[in-house]
């Protein structure tokens, strides 16, 4: 059976996924246009988004947690712009 994790834990996991996306090395050949690089970054950012996307709408989360989840969603979009959109790719 799957263990439920709290909203605070989800935020921690999402930030870890964002950090992993930032740490993916840009390949020497192809740079940020390399499809493997783009796929890895998009997947990590997708996982981060999945962790927090429903927290702002949940009734059980405090206003502080909802605000923090919203901030994580903003961080995901910023990371997407920094890592992918400069190269012409977008995960949106």
Q: What is the pLDDT of residues 43-92, one digit of tens each?
A: 999 999 999 999 999 888 899 999 999 999 999 999 999 988 764 455 44
Which candidate, 3, 4, 7, places its Cα nearest to that of 58?
7
- pLDDT for 86 equals 61
Q: How far is CA 57 from CA 29, 37, 66, 76, in A?
A: 43, 32, 8, 18
The model carries a pTM of 0.85
């Amino acid at each position: 059976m799957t263990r439920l994790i709290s909203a605070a834990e989800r935020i921690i996991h999402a930030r870890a996924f964002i950090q992993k996306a930032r740490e993916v090395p840009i390949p020497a050949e192809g740079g940020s246009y390399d499809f493997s690089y783009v796929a890895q970054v998009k997947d990590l950012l997708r996982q981060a988004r999945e962790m927090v996307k429903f927290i702002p709408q949940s009734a059980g989360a405090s206003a502080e947690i909802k605000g923090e989840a919203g901030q994580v969603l903003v961080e995901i979009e910023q990371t997407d712009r920094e890592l992918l959109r400069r190269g012409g790719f977008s995960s949106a």
